[in-house]
Structure 1
Amino acid sequence: MEKAPLFLYAVSPVHAGGGQATGLIDNPIQRECHTGHPCIAGSGLKGAVRHGFEQLGGKREHIDPLFGPESGSSNLHAGALSFGDAQTVALPVRSLKGGYVYATCPQALARAQRLLALCHQRVNWSIPEVPEGHAHLVNPACLSTDQALHLEAHEFRAKMSPEVHAIAEQLAALALPADPIHDYFRNKLSQDLVVLNDHDFSHFAEHAMVIEPHVRIDPKTGTASDGGLFYTENLPPESLLIAPVMAGATRGSHGDLPLDAGFVMAKVRAVLHSDLLQVGGDATTGRGLLICHMPG
């Protein structure tokens, strides 16, 4: 079994739908039940990669061995690839200074560190404990005053942290491709990472999403339908998530294509590494665009 981490960096709003809700948001995004953090189900990731495999440079004859055949096939078997759920690492939060910061929390960092280690990508992160109402950060230019950081309408008592600096530099190097077009965002992530208390971060994970109103149009009149207003929730651009990818040997009968786990991982790495993947709904309106990066 081969394992690798897959970083997903949003370059557009992303709507990985979680079904209908009873609250004000008609079409919410997927969230973890125990943390409330946004996530993307592994089944959705696998389906998106399968759907875009040829467009990403893969070969048609590798689709069934890697992902499994379509239902109804006479050669049914499991695919060689498995995708875990993508969990939140950092979210963009509007800042009074610097435009926005990449907000995270000890819980999100610890889970990312664990996932990286399980995928044989160990990082030496010393994750700080952050009291409620406080923030540990790297860049003093983000501060409104000597000790105050303002995110949205909230003020946090700020502390410069060498531990966060080390985490931010390693995270930026791992999460984004080493390409000049990503230099600005890689540098910003390495400088503008802010670690909040788990509880404070949960507030932004719930309330700092992109909420879009939609109006259903009556095809006969070309005007808004009565009761046709609905709201859709999206993960904001510049969000960062991480998911595990696992590869085994191919199953079933595919002629001369019995592929070992190393070959399978090499194939998925080749199509996903530093490329753009569309995930979730509203594809025709430019939603769901994620930069994929598999370090190592």
Structure 2
Amino acid sequence: MKNKKMYYIHCLSPLHVGTGQGVGVVDMPIIRERITEWPFVPGSSIKGVHREYFASKQSEQWLEAAFGTSPNEAGNAGSLVLSDSKLLAFPVASGYGTFAYVTCPLAIKRMIRDAAAVGFPIPDVNLHQWEQVLKNRNEADDESAFITSSSVLACKEYIYLDEFKCKKEQDASAALDTWVDWLSGQLFSDEMSQRIFTERFVLVSDDAFQYFVTMCCEIMTRIRISSDAKIVESGALWTEEYLPVESILYGTIWCDKIHSSSEAITAQSLMKALSGESSLQIGGNISVGKGRVRCRYIEEDC
């Protein structure tokens, strides 16, 4: 497929893309995939914030060609296709190194498959070999985790992630280091952020990752104060769920058909605008600083 890119989202503040009123312990839960229970950001939300971002940077004709006309107007659909943002790495508190960027074989497999669907190459990785080691340890009731050679997370032979004590594993062939270095270059443009990522990268089993993403999201309690009495108003106490700071998601963008009569607007010109990095705000509670993200667009030859 021509005219395609990967995009990566790095959360700079807690992110809440909700589903409305919850029926469980959390009043305002975040949206999750039905089958995996992993948090994600719908493509409609990604498209909406991009339209708002480009509203002051591009012409109305460009906006309508890229993102479509208003629902109240007769017109066309958008030419740019923005997929859902799926979870790649989840931040977890660590006994050493403060926190870890945790991922699992299934999350990496899904990224490779999604990238391949639009013809975006992902470097080969010894995923089956690492997955087998994690599986064997798990069957022996001894959770383990792969880290890089430059990791700051280990204390002697163990890594402490939330409630998990994981046996340290390292790839003797250095294939993991090579792949994580490549991934850090995709996610971050500056050396400091790349180093932070490689030093805190952890590959755990799918089951351990499932626990982290379902049990370790951020829960905030909110109240509303009466402007007159300066006390909490009756019933104005609720909880909200957030995807934590440092979460990393990915998605794909492509343009295979132009919905515009203007010859000046081409697929290449639309995709060219999505380059470098954008600072966006996604989801709810943006007036209190939530939802700040850095969105990075990667072309095939990067």
Task: Report SS of the residue matched to 1:201.
Answer: helix
Task: Report SS of the residue matched to 2:271.
Answer: helix
2:154 aligned residue: 143
1:172 aligned residue: 184
Q: Offset of 1:257 from its aligned partner?
A: 4.8
Q: Is the 8 A contact 1:42 1:84 kept in 2?
A: yes
1:115 aligned residue: 114
Q: Offset of 1:50 from its aligned partner?
A: 0.7
1:264 aligned residue: 270
Measured in 2, the distance between the counterparts of 1:126 and 1:170 equals: 14
Measured in 2, the distance between the counterparts of 1:174 and 1:140 equals: 19
Q: How does 1:272-291 map to 2 (within 5 A)?
A: 273-291=276-294
Q: How does 1:220-235 map to 2 (within 5 A)?
A: 221-235=229-243
Measured in 1, the distance between the counterparts of 2:39 and 2:238 equals: 20
1:8 aligns with 2:9: yes
2:86 aligned residue: 87
Task: Report SS of the residue matched to 2:219.
Answer: strand
Query: Number of aligned pairs?
Result: 284
Which structure 1 residue ranges, 4+ long, deviate > 6 Å from structure 2?
none
Q: Which runs of 5+ in 1 are unaligned?
A: none
Question: What amino acid does structure 1 have at the position aligned with 2:46?
Answer: L
Question: What amino acid does structure 1 have at the position aligned with 2:268?
Answer: G
Measured in 1, the distance between the counterparts of 2:280 and 2:121 equals: 23
Q: How does 1:1-296 map to 2 (within 5 A)?
A: 2-55=3-56, 57-74=57-74, 76-119=75-118, 120-127=120-127, 128-129=130-131, 130-131=134-135, 132=138, 133-138=143-148, 139-144=150-155, 146-161=156-171, 162-177=174-189, 182-218=190-226, 221-253=229-261, 256-257=262-263, 259-267=265-273, 269-270=274-275, 273-296=276-299
Question: What amino acid does structure 2 have at the position aligned with 1:78?
Answer: A
Q: Is the 8 A contact 1:25 1:231 kept in 2?
A: yes
Structure 1-normalised TM-score?
Answer: 0.90
Structure 2-normalised TM-score?
Answer: 0.88
Task: Report SS of the residue matched to 1:186.
Answer: helix
Q: Offset of 1:21 from its aligned partner?
A: 1.5
Question: What amino acid does structure 2 have at the position aligned with 1:27?
Answer: M
Q: Which runs of 5+ in 2 are unaligned?
A: none
User: What is the aligned-residue RMSD (CA, Å)?
Assistant: 1.8
Measured in 2, the distance between the counterparts of 1:49 and 1:218 equals: 36
Measured in 2, the distance between the counterparts of 1:234 and 1:50 equals: 24
Q: Offset of 1:237 from its aligned partner?
A: 1.0
Identity of aligned residues (%): 24
